[in-house]
Amino acid sequence: MSFASIVDFILLAAIWGSSFLFMRVAVVEFGALPTAAARVAVASVVLLPLLLWRRQGPQLRQHWKPIFIVGVLNSGIPFALFSFALLSITTGLSAILNATVPLFGALVAWAWLKDRLSGSRVLGLVIGFAGVAMLAWDKASFRPDASGIAPGWAVLACLGATVCYALAASATKRYLTGIPPLVTATGSQIGATLGLALPALWLWPAQMPSAHAWWAVVAVGVVCTGLAYVLYFRLIEQAGPAKALAVTFVVPVFAIFYGALFLGEGVTPWMVLCGLVIVCGTALSTGLLKLPLPGGKARTQA
């Protein structure tokens, strides 16, 4: 990668890592659904002027139906599930579980799009899901904690969010190929906003959230969603999708650091071990890392 791409890569990982911190701060006062709805609404406000400035509005009008549906699946539901989970589990743990997105993505692409899985990728799926099982087992209690939510349900919510991301990725490849990334990004946020609007209004907190919580929502919407999308799509153009995908592996490092620094969250050796297992399995399952096979050599994807 070029120096500019490396800067974008690190900046994107740092931004997405902070999204768990901002959601954790906001969800305590807003609640899960209002937090998710406010996040995508703010992102829509940020991205829509950029879309209109680049004169891509007609393409959004032409493909709005599938884009809006993908938006609910790719942003609306996952953001709500992660917000719910962060009421009970740490930002670091949720970020580690988020790193399984490429793992589920490979599985969904195989089942839906008939994407061929090599022996190395199958092994990666096995290793990755073993890491998930190890991590989930440590949080397997379904007894409510001080937050009123059982950690087991929070872990399942995170995994449900990653499955939604995986389904949305395959849906995008199948139905939205050829549509400019900015059109998909903007339309998906608008679709997610519309999908969450009514339930978020129904569950809107009776007491107005503090300025601290509002700033967290603005930050996660403007920086972690709007700006992050621009960086992500630029990274895809400059370095390719495989290297852009690898940012998922670095996000937990920043999320754990932010959680420990600003929220005083602890990091256990078991979390680190399980995270490494998940990352290794995901790298294999996506083809970013390949093991030696008969008649071949181990190599990483360029």
Whether residue 277 is contained in a domain is answered as no
Whether residue 129 is contained in a domain is answered as no
Structure tokens at 181: 């990334």
Do residues 56 and 117 lie in contact, with contact meaning Cβ atoms separated by under 8 Å? no
Number of domains in the chain: 1
Res 140: pLDDT: 63
Whether residue 155 is contained in a domain is answered as yes
pLDDT-derived band at 34, boundaries 50, 70, 90 = very high
Q: What is the mean pLDDT of residues 277-291?
A: 79
Whether residue 291 is contained in a domain is answered as no
pLDDT surpassing 80 at residue 25: yes
Q: In whole angstroms, give the CA distance from residue 16 to residue 288.
A: 21
In which domain, by residue range, is 15 found?
3-116+148-267
Res 300: pLDDT: 41
Whether residue 30 is contained in a domain is answered as yes
pLDDT-derived band at 241, boundaries 50, 70, 90 = low
Distances from the Cα of 91 to the Cαs of 28, 87, 113, 256, in angstroms?
A: 13, 10, 32, 7
Whether residue 276 is contained in a domain is answered as no
User: What percent of the chain has pLDDT above 90?
Assistant: 46
Lowest mean pLDDT among 74-78, 80-84, 121-125, 141-145: 141-145
Q: In whole angstroms, give the CA distance from residue 29 to residue 192.
A: 21
Whether residue 123 is contained in a domain is answered as no
Q: What is the mean pLDDT of residues 117-144?
A: 81
**pTM of the entire predicted model:** 0.87
Instruction: Identify residue 90 by its one-letter amino acid code.
Output: T
What does the mean pLDDT of the chain come to?
87
Whether residue 293 is contained in a domain is answered as no
